[in-house]
Amino acid sequence: MYKRQDESRRQKLVVVEQKKSRRNSVSEEIGRLKKAGQNTEDLVLEMRALSQEIKEHDEEIRAIEEELNNTLLAIPNLPHESIPVGPDDSCNREERQWGTPRNFPFPPKPHWELGEQLDILDFERAGKVTGTRFAFYKGLGARLERALINFMLDIHTNEHGYLELIPPFMVNSQSMTGTGQLPKFAEDMFHLENTDYYLIPTAEVPVTNFYREEILAEERLPIYHVAYSPCFRAEAGAHGRDTRGLIRQHQFNKVELVKFCPPANSYEELEKLTANAETILQRLELPYRVVCLSSGDLGFSAAKTYDLEVWLPSFGTYREISSCSNFEDFQARRANIRFRPAGGGKPEFVHTLNGSGLALGRTTAAILENYQEEDGSITIPQALRPYMGGIERIAPPKEASS
RNA sequence: GGAGAGAUGGCCGAGUAGGUUGAAGGCGAUCGCCUGCUAAGCGAUUAUACGGGCUAAUACCUGUAUCGAGGGUUCGAAUCCCUCUCUCUCCGCCA
């Protein structure tokens, strides 16, 4: 199908290019003849007809290319051979576990109850001010979220070698197409009326598109970027799922890791990127496991994905907190991001990777739940205390304030 | 938001009465020469993409396209017309 279209396009291209070649040379000839004062009427007439033909050919080719392009944009990426094959998440493969879920001598509360009792989260007023699936962070809750953002950014920039970017939080449709959100997933995003702008669902979009339409010198690779951004997701089709708490919001914060590298090392880079994200959970001493998504659970654009799942006591399960993927050249083709091989030669597509390092809302939820005490207070993880001005504990307010 | 100016090759910068301009000149870069070394000097080369041919080939030959983007006029457009985008200056506004 694709092959046939492509061949027909190429054939037509040859024909039209021959005609253009003739037009160019004859036009030049006409110029010369006119200068010499000779009659050129016949040639002009002939060229008029030829130009018309060329116009028709160009139109045909354009139509074929558009059709071809549409076909291409709707095709998902090919899964990597190392991932488990299966129809859905039941076939995902657990790679490893880290830490041991704490044994609570009391029934652990869900984070939204803790947050409301501590007066650091306010879902009700967010519902009034905006709507469902939004939250206010308040007092030490806001402080905790802010501390986590800085904590993550510092580790990734200082220890893991990522260069920080603060991206635009809106992007145009071309960028959304480049990373694979468009055209297929338009309903998952917030589109700004009367514009070509979308609120970003993840910093992956602006950061990956940073190098769109560029040819990078191979010496510059690999490129590592880390970016904090809020993320906006319409969560279409998620009615009734995770309706309470911070797990599934229309807006949440995230620190995102993005890599660009030559094809040869992209799987090595995926392991490193995943390990970088894991570091955050380890420093926060949050139990988690790493899962390799099966072919059926894999996203549209990814070739291989590791999910990091953090332990949430009130759920009694692990929940996704980071998703680390290798897109191979899928995004690079769409966004036309290439590199020139060190030895010279034709530009090749880079491989792109990204992963959350980490999603903030879920991290906050995990800290509240895993570090809760019987009286409803929260112990701040050791590693985070410098970012909290030395605060060790978030205690319930003496009197209910509002 | 109002008024004006502009967008040319890695960079700077020519080129508007449409016709060897893929594009002068300069800088930079590369190669060679020269020179005890360095500097200077001299010579040559110096865009990219996509096709076709020939191939071991990213080499070579050849075609097409590209002077912000898209469309139009014309036998022929960097040069004329329209639309859009972006940049700059002034005013207004604003964090």
Give the highest mean pLDDT range of A57-61, A64-68, A296-300: A296-300
CA of A149 to C1' of B39 (A): 54
Distance between CA A176 and CA A168 in Å, rounded? 13
Which pLDDT score, from 0 to 100, does residue A75 have? Answer: 83
Å between CA of A214 and C1' of B9:
17
pLDDT category at A56 given cuts 50, 70, 90 is confident
Sign of CA dihedral A327, A333, A338, A344: positive
Residue-level pLDDT at A91: 92
User: Omega of the bond prior to A230 within 30 degrees of 0, cis?
Assistant: no
Other C-beta atoms closer than 10 Å to the C-beta of A13 total: 15
Structure-block tokens of residue A231: 């993320």
What does strand B contact on the protein, if contact means CB under 7 A?
A 10, 13-14, 17-18, 20-21, 23-28, 30-32, 34, 44, 47-48, 51, 55, 215, 341, 343-347
For the ranges A67-71, A86-90, A153-157, A366-370, the lowest mean pLDDT is seen at: A67-71
Q: Which residues of A are catalytic?
A: 233, 248, 320, 323, 362
Distance A311 CA to B13 C1' (A): 63
What pLDDT does A327 receive?
94
Nucleotide nearest to A18 (CA to C1'): B63
Residue A117 is given by DSSP the state H
Per-residue pLDDT tens digits for A135-151: 999 999 999 999 999 99
Determine the nucleotide nearest to A346 by Cα–C1' distance.
B58
Is this prediction's ipTM beyond 0.85?
no
> What are the backbone angles phi and psi of residue A303, rounded to the nearest 5°?
-100, -30
Radius of gyration of chain A (CA): 27
A133 sits in which H/E element: none
C-alpha to C-alpha distance for A338 and A346, rounded to whole angstroms: 10
Handedness of CA A102, A105, A108, A114 (dihedral sign): negative
A122 or A2, greater pLDDT: A122
Q: 């509002």: which residue's tokens?
A: A402
Q: How many CB atoms lie within 10 A of CB A139?
A: 14
How large is the angle between the packed helices A360-370 and A140-154, nearest 10 degrees?
A: 110
- Contact predicate A135/A360, CB 8 Å: no
Q: What's the Cα-to-Cα distance from A152 to each of A4, A99, A327, rounded to whole Å? A: 50, 19, 23
Distance measured from the CA of protein residue A10 to the C1' of nucleotide B53, in angstroms: 15
Residue range A318-328: average pLDDT? Answer: 95
Residue A7: per-residue pLDDT: 83
